Amino acid sequence: MVSPDNVEQSLRNLSLAVSDGQQQGGGSDTDCDSRSLKWHLPLKELYKMACAFYKEKSGKAIHLSYEDNLKLVAFTQQAAHGPLDPGKAPQLGMFDVIGKDRRIAWQHLGTITKLQAMEGFIDLLDRLCPQFKPYVEAIKKDREEKAQQAQAEEAKRKEQVAKEEEKLAELKRIEDEKNREEIQRRQLQDALNQQTYHQFKDYAEKQFPGNPEQQAVLIRQLQNEHYHQYMQQLQAQVASNYSHLRATSVDSESAEVDSGIAEQHSGNQIDQATNAKENSQQEYKEQCDSDDDSGEYAVISPANMWTKPDVKLFKQEVTSGKGDGVIRVGHGDTITVRVPTHEGGSSLFWEFATDNYDIGFGVYFEWGKPMTTDVSVHVSESDEDDDTLEDDDVVCADDLECGGQQQHKQQYNGGSGSSSLANRNPISIIVPIYRRECQTEVYAGSHSYPGEGTYLLKFDNSYSLWRSKTLYYKVFYTR
């Protein structure tokens, strides 16, 4: 057991050590706090760590002497309550030896401040327990890692928020772009509807006389179909212009390279290249002039095409005499319905359907003043001569239903045959010949007069070797 004399001597030494610390440090709280910064932690926070370490490890991981425990307890009392006031302290029991020793140790600390007592507790615990400093370092490292993790999570959260905002901004931009495109589409469609309203209205009145609701439905269908066809033609024209510009650019670059090479040749070679270039330019000018002379028939507007579901009703109308008629198209034959333009008309309309099987259909236009205003039907068989109009004068080069590109059958061998072909009027392709599923729905269309001439409505069954087709058709014009 520790003798009271040893305890008294230890307390005197503690009092002297604290007094020396006050004299050396000036006894100010600021000096105590600044000295504690060697731990890189605030003094009060470090003191709480030291108290927790002492309570947790005392008697387990660390074993201190009775005198050392008295000193540490005295520092905690001074840090908690300040200097000891014997008049206010409660009375101790007669046999409370430990309480008396603690009170004596507390009293020997004198008048040091609470902060100085905290620092004394920390320094003494650091000297007595080598494990205390690693304990503090571990806590600091754990806090730093948590702080870094919190910063990383905050940065990640901010990045995610920024991405969300960017995504919302992109969605808003796309939505605005769609709204602008929709507004432009409606404006364009309204303009097209104004141009074709009277034409489609006349057609609808003939189809559904005395039924305004059905007329309105048909007019909307025609207008939508006309808009889609217009957009397809516009896209095709843009693509064609782009290809032409690229080809022009490539030709320009090639011409620059050729001119750079030509500069390295001799004077005679330069003269030859110059003469060739002039001849080429003259030929190109003559070709352009020739194109201008023949271009009076080149400008022609596209046709409008749509379908109607009421095949049975349409066939009944045609059969009952309300349409133009019913034609039997033999296997391997092509029927051409010639419809001249009318002086009082502005557009041509057509409708057709078949029984059980499809048929090829296309529309051509023969320029020139028609000799008659009557509608006529011509049959072209597969074994007829090659100088017939239906087979020779104009052939659709992209008729996919015929198994590939068709070739012209004209033979320019002189004589009366070639003379008759040369005297024929030019023909433009309005609708190329394609096979139509007209046995399931009525195919209809219209076209604005490009000028005086004759429409050639071709119903092609030449691809069929065995089947004949029954054709129901109607053609009429509107003002």
User: Could you give the C-alpha distances from 461 to 158, 339, 393, in angstroms and in order?
Assistant: 70, 20, 18
Rounded distance between C-alpha atoms, residue 138 and residue 349, angstroms:
92
β-sheet bridge partners, residue 306: 444
Please, how many CA atoms are within 13 Å of residue 175, restricted to the half-sphere of its CB? Answer: 6
- For residue 2, which of 63, 60, 54, 68 has the smallest C-alpha distance? 68
> Is residue 158 pLDDT above 90, yes or no?
yes
- As a 3-state breakdown, the chain gives helix, strand, coil percent values, each rounded to 5, of 60, 15, 25
Q: How confident is the model at residue 36 (pLDDT cuts 50, 70, 90)?
A: low
235 has pLDDT over 60: yes
Position 73, amino acid = V
Do the bridges between strand 376-380 and strand 469-478 make them parallel or antiparallel, or are there none, so unpaired? unpaired
pLDDT (tens digit, 9 = 90+) per residue, 197-207? 888 888 888 88
Q: What mean pLDDT do residues 411-437 have?
A: 69
Q: Do residues 420 and 357 touch, judged by C-beta distance below 8 A?
A: no
Residue 359 identity (one-letter amino acid): I
If pLDDT is split at 50, 70 and 90, which confidence band does 402 have? very low
**Residue 10 CB burial class (10 angstroms; 0-12, 13-18, ≥19):** buried
Q: How confident is the model at residue 31 (pLDDT cuts 50, 70, 90)?
A: low
Report the distance separating Cα 389 and Cα 47, nearest Å: 112
Among all chains, which residue has been given the structure tokens 């001569």? 385
Average pLDDT, the chain: 78
Encoded tokens for 336: 């051409």
What pLDDT, on a 0 to 100 scale, did the predictor assign at position 406?
A: 39
pLDDT of residue 88: 81
pLDDT tens column, 286-299? 443 444 444 455 56
pLDDT in the model for residue 29? 53
Q: What is the pLDDT of residues 171-203, one digit of tens each?
A: 999 999 999 999 998 899 899 888 888 888 888
DSSP structural state of residue 366:
E
pLDDT in tens, 99-140: 888 888 998 899 999 999 999 999 999 999 988 889 999 998
d(CA 323, CA 207): 11
Measured between alpha carbons, how far is 431 from 228 in angstroms, rounded to an integer? Answer: 16
- pTM reported for the whole predicted model: 0.41
SS3 of residue 371 by DSSP: coil
CB 409 within 8 A of CB 417: no
pLDDT score, position 418: 46
Please give the pLDDT value at position 365: 93
* Spatial separation of the C-alpha atoms in residues 350 and 334, rounded to whole Å: 17
46: its two tokens: 């470090």
Digit-coded pLDDT (tens) for 309-319:
889 999 988 98
